[in-house]
Amino acid sequence: MKSYLFVSLALLLSCNAVKKTEGQTPGSQLLKDVEILSSDAYNGRKTGTKGAEMARAYIINRFKEIGLKTFSGEVQGYEQTFDFKSARETIKGKNLIGYIQGKSDSIIVISAHYDHIGIIKGEIYNGADDNASGVAALLKFSTYFAKNQPNHTLVFAAFDAEEMGLQGAKAFVATPPVPLGKIKLNINMDMISHNDKGELYACGTFKHPGLKKYIITTNPNIKVLLGHDDPKQGHDDWTNQSDQGAFNAKNIPFIYFGVEDHKDYHKATDEYKNINKTFFTDAAESILEIINNIDKKRDSQQIFKENLKMKKQ
């Protein structure tokens, strides 16, 4: 493990990196966020470690820079603290939550987990694709909507402890900063930067077919595929395999964006240099386009009326 002096210095450098990226194009900022969060200085961002603390400091700095609003009550500043048991110990996790007020009080939660699996046998598992990529996209989307007021109120949640059993997302829905009944949809990103075929999966329309019409992109470089959400697929059913599972357990519709497993999944080689940068930039743009497709539906209840109608057919 690095010394506390080194960690403090790395934390200072990472915070300064936020200032240095001001004025850059959205694409370069997107990549810069991944590069910083997946650097060795963060020691793999394992929940409960100094690396996770550094990641939080970086994300909070970006939230402030973007101008996300904070909640009160269970969320102090941007932080929602929670405890969970793992083996014989109790671990403290921290979600990071901010929001942009929309033209209505109907809520869409946009999420990505910032934790990874840390250091194993002396090797740092940096988790560039899993899931610095999702967090970088979340920051990109919040930057966009801070300048373009959405119809729905958008809650941006960077969850902790996904790798330990979706603990952060479960804590969010157990003690939400907003009434669960107002949450109309969860859009979750987990691994969206590493695919050689230009394929990005959107999981969730098997259970909520009314969402299909919104999952389209004009980007010719990205193939958005529907699937990995049929219970008959067994392990290939991704419905509950990332943070959207906690929302699904509360019967909240979801769309989960991700890629299929690749050679660097949960390996020390999941590094910034190995992500597909062009694919990632295109994927993030495509997801933003889809979010806009949904947000333009001013009456979000109509989406779910369509869901019910299609289920009955």
In the chain, where are the structural domains located?
4-312
Q: How far apart are CA 259 and CA 231, in angstroms?
A: 18
Whether residue 18 is predicted with pLDDT greater than 50 in this model: the reply is no
Which CATH number applies to 4-312? Answer: 3.40.630.10
203-240: pLDDT as tens digits: 999 999 999 999 999 999 999 999 999 999 999 999 99
pTM of the predicted model as reported, rounded to 2 decimal places: 0.89
Whether residue 4 is predicted with pLDDT greater than 80 in this model: the reply is no
Q: How far apart are CA 184 and CA 272, in angstroms?
A: 34
Starting from the edge strand earliest in sequence, which strands make up the sheet with 79-86, in order?
75-76, 79-86, 89-100, 153-159, 107-113, 183-189, 254-258, 199-203, 223-226
Residue type, 97: I
Integer Rg of the chain from CA: 18
26-71: pLDDT as tens digits: 469 999 999 999 999 999 999 999 999 999 999 999 999 999 999 9
What confidence category does residue 301 fall into, taking pLDDT thresholds of 50, 70 and 90? low
Comparing 301 with 140, the larger pLDDT belongs to 140
Q: How is residue 214 written in tokens? A: 């919104």
> For 308, how many CA atoms within 13 A lie in the half-sphere containing its CB?
4
Comparing 229 with 311, the larger pLDDT belongs to 229
- What does the mean pLDDT of the chain come to? 90
